[in-house]
Structures are given as C-alpha cells and as structure tokens.
Structure 1
Amino acid sequence: MSDQEQADAADDAEEAESEEATEEETGGLQDGDFVRIAYTIRTVDDGQVIDTTDEETAEEAEIDTEEYEFEPRIIAIGAGHVFPSVEEALIGQSVGDTGTIEIPAAEAFGEFDEEEVKTVKADKIPEDDRYPGAQVQIDGEQGRLETIIGGRARVDFNHPLAGEDLEYEYEILEEVDDREEQAAGMLGMYLQEAPEVRIETVTEEEEVTVESDDEDGEPETETQEVENEVLYIEATPQMTMNQQWMFSKQQIAQDLMQRLDLDKVIVEEVIDGGGMGGLGGMMGGMGGGAGGADIEEALEEADVDADELVEELDEE
C-alpha cells in the first residue's frame, strides 16, 4: 500500500470514528423522527384536562367521548405538532420514556390581554346567545359573552385558555418508520381524523430541458419517463368540509411532501352509492324525471315527429 493510500485509509477510519462518536452523543430521537405518543394536557392552576389521548381520563374529566376518538397520536418531531418545550424534551429520548413538561402561558395560548375584552352593541349578538358564557362571533372574531346590559354587551375575545400555564404529561410508545402510517398520523394532527392513505411509485412521462449539442443552440425539451413517489389520500365527506383542510390544503400537502420525501400528493374523492336515478330530475328539469312522456312533450314543442326521427336514425 502506498503512502497516499495509507493516508486515505487513516482519514476514512478517523471520519468513521467521528461519525460514530457523534451518533453516540446525539443518541435517541432526533428532529424529523416520527413517534407515537400518549399524552394528557392539564391546566396547572386547577388540573383541568383540556386534551388527552386516554379515554378513561376523558371520561373522568367529563369530556364527550362519543364525539372524539381517544388514542395515541403520531407526531413528527420538529414539525410543530406539539409545543416547542415538548419537542425540545423529546430530543434524545427513547421509546418507553415518560415525562411531564410545564408550558408557560405565553408559549401555550398567550397571556391574558385586557384590551381584548371589549364592549359591543348587543344587537350584533343573536337573541338566543344573549346570556353570560355564550360563545359568540362578532365581526369575524370568536369571543365569550361576559355580561349584557341594555343595548351593550361585554365580550372577551381572548382564547379561553389565555393566561393559563399548562402541564403536558407524555409517554413515548414507539418510533414510527412506515411512511403511510406517518402520512396518516400527520393528517390526523391537522384534521383530527386520519383518512385512508397509500404511497405508490408511479412511472410518469415528464418534459425535461436538455442542453443542445450545438453550442449556439437553445436548450431543448424532451419527454422522459420518471419515477415519482405519490401519496394518495382518500377524501371523506368530513375531510372535504374540514375548515383546516379547505383553507390550508396546499400547505399541508407541501409539509407532507417535504417530510416524507414525496414527489406528489393526489386527493381521491370517493362517492358511494349506485344507480343513475338522481340524474333524472336534473335531465327532466323542474318537472321531475326525464321519462318517455317528458321526451315526447319536448319533441312536440320542437315540432319534431318522434316516429320520423327514429326512422332517420335507423337509416343512418
């Protein structure tokens, strides 16, 4: 072995040792890892449960267990799925680890702002909602009605948990490596439901720019076959009407592609039910189904003889 080869081998060995040492120093979960986590969030002052993945805890807190699914969530560390303090605590942790993190109000739902408690005209509030504690919407802002006297109402536009320090209790159940599970988990965090998903490698034809053989020639385009990693999402009616999806689907798709190394996201709308019965009313206009009588009436109005039309069609 030459001196240069020996030097190169020594450099490679040193680099490998350095990488191994770095891995040991930064062992455990890292930014970008996906984990399944169980958690319960309470207010520090009175221990009120405001969110949990545990159904028994929800029942004890008298949270409606029929409206929501209580099960551990999949989160991507570093994606903003949990509070920053929690993400920091998860770095370096391992499966099976537990912990409790205190989240200051400023990081949670903000400090209470007295200026967000405003007096408005009572006629801006529907009569059915004119009672203390009612959730009301005024000029596009969501608030809680505190008092109403005569023609004036006092409304608190702070978040209901503004000024509350929180306690985040968690357990790391497993690391999630399957990309379809990861995709479903991310969608679940965004939409509060996890639709059916699948990832496929699809061969598609795309136009690409290639350099011309002629030095003075302009670049040319040609069609080439490329393999794309595509995420298919089966859109449920609930998903298509979800406000978070309606207003942020481009951002959600971009986040999915970036974190899961995808080339494309395709949303498939599935419509259940059979038959063409529903089209009859549309084709028949306001009068109902497009039956034979309706067709004959339409032909008569157009001064067309139905028998003559059939004969002409047969001759063709």
Structure 2
Amino acid sequence: MTNSALIIGDNSEVILHFDLKLEDGSAADSTRVNNKPAKMVMGDGSLTKNFEDCLRGLTIGDKKAFKLAADDAFGMPNPDNIYHVDRTKFTADTPVEEGMIIAFAQPDGSELPGVIRSVAGHSVTVDFNHPLAGQDVTFDVEIIDVKNAGAD
C-alpha cells in the first residue's frame, strides 16, 4: 500500500476530532467532550463542497483550522423550515417554552429536532433549521484515520 492511500481525497472515509467555534470564539460543538471522534465519508453529500475541499489533501495526524461562511457550513435559515403548530399537538407533560429543543417524530420513525421560537396562545412557532444556520464558524480538525475506497 502506498502512502498516498492515506491522503484524504474523493470517497475517503475520515475519522477526525473537531472543535466547532462561533465567530465570537464560543464553543458550539466538540467531539473531544466525550472523546468520540466523528466519522465522515467524502462525497456522500453530508458535507458541503467547501468543507470537503478544506479536508482534501490532509493525512493522519494533520491538524488544521479553517473558517467557513454560513453558506459553506450549515447553510442559511430557510423560512420554509419554520412551522406554526397548534398547542394541542403537544402533550400536557411537555412544557413548551421559547428556546426549548424538542424532537419531533417523522413518518419514517426518525426524529427531527425543532427549536421553539415563540408561543402565542394556541400557536407554537417551531424552527426546524439547523441551530447554527446563518452563522460563520471555525472548524479546528485533527485527522485520526483515513481509509480510501479500494485501498486495503
């Protein structure tokens, strides 16, 4: 196996630690908190092209920090992802307060988190945009392992 098989490229499976910081420097997320590195596959559509471009060419042991504009990180908030839900849809033991994040069951059995933006009478405004949508972020990554498709 050549060493180039360990360089991140198309279809690489990447295991990495990351620290995600907001523009003001506050921590938004980190894999180090629970010491559970993230696993991602280049080109599977889960990462934006710009994020993938920042990882491309890195190899095991590399550390890199890069700033991503909102469009390249979690996207911009989409008004179509904001819903008005009748208060009666929430169970009596579910306190509905501004800022709360509630998981909503989807038809396929998965759950989608929504942030309660406002409560007015019987109308509850729920925002299903990613909580970091619209924010510029800095990713601090450390590459733990790289596996390339076809390399063994």
TM-score by length of 1: 0.36
Structure 2: distance between partners of 1:74 and 1:144: 26
Structure 2: distance between partners of 1:138 and 1:30: 36
Which residue number in structure 2 is paired with residue 125 of structure 1?
Answer: 90
Which residue number in structure 2 is paired with residue 134 of structure 1?
Answer: 100
Q: Compute the displacement of 1:135 (Å).
A: 3.1
Identity %: 24
Q: Compute the displacement of 1:102 (Å).
A: 1.8
Which residue number in structure 2 is paired with residue 148 of structure 1?
Answer: 119
Q: Name the amino acid aligned to 1:168.
A: F
The structure having more radius of gyration, on CA atoms, is 1
What is the Cα-based RMSD across aligned positions, in Å?
A: 3.5
**Taking structure 1 as reference, are residues 121 and 88 closer, same or farther at Cα in structure 2, changes over 3 Å only?**
same
Structure 2: distance between partners of 1:152 and 1:35: 43
Which residue number in structure 2 is paired with residue 168 of structure 1?
Answer: 139
Q: Name the amino acid aligned to 1:86.
A: F
Structure 2: distance between partners of 1:108 and 1:80: 13
Bigger RCO (CA 8 Å, 6+ sep):
2
Q: After superposition, what is the alpha-carbon deviation per residue over 1:44-76, rounded to whole angstroms, capped at 9, x for unaligned?
A: 3452332x232xxx2xxxxxx4xxxx2334544
Which residue number in structure 2 is paired with residue 313 of structure 1?
Answer: none
Structure 1: distance between partners of 2:91 and 2:44: 40
Count of aligned residue pairs for this structure pair: 141
Structure 1: distance between partners of 2:28 and 2:42: 23
| SS across alignment from 1:106 | helix
Which residue number in structure 2 is paired with residue 53 of structure 1?
Answer: 31
What are the residue-to-residue correspondences of 1:271-310 with 2, within 5 Å?
A: none
Q: Name the amino acid aligned to 2:31.
A: T
Structure 1: distance between partners of 2:118 and 2:54: 42
Which residue number in structure 1 is paired with residue 71 of structure 2?
Answer: 106
| SS across alignment from 1:129 | coil
Structure 2: distance between partners of 1:175 and 1:152: 48
Higher strand content, 1 or 2: 2
Structure 2: distance between partners of 1:73 and 1:144: 24
After superposing the two structures, state which structure 1 stretch, 160-169 or 150-159, moved more.
150-159
After superposing the two structures, state which structure 1 stretch, 116-125 or 164-173, moved more.
116-125
Q: Note if contact 2:17-2:31 (Cα within 8 Å) is conserved in structure 1.
A: yes
What are the residue-to-residue correspondences of 1:246-257 with 2, within 5 Å?
A: none
Q: Compute the displacement of 1:175 (Å).
A: 4.1
Higher helix content, 1 or 2: 1
1:72 aligns with 2:37: yes
Q: Name the amino acid aligned to 2:130.
A: H
Q: After superposition, what is the alpha-carbon deviation per residue over 1:73-132, rounded to whole angstroms, capped at 9, x for unaligned?
A: 454444446443232123333433221122222233221234543433221222223222
**Taking structure 1 as reference, are residues 150 and 108 closer, same or farther at Cα in structure 2, changes over 3 Å only?**
same
| SS across alignment from 1:87 | helix
1:96 aligns with 2:61: yes
Structure 2: distance between partners of 1:91 and 1:139: 34
| SS across alignment from 2:54 | helix
Structure 1: distance between partners of 2:146 and 2:81: 42
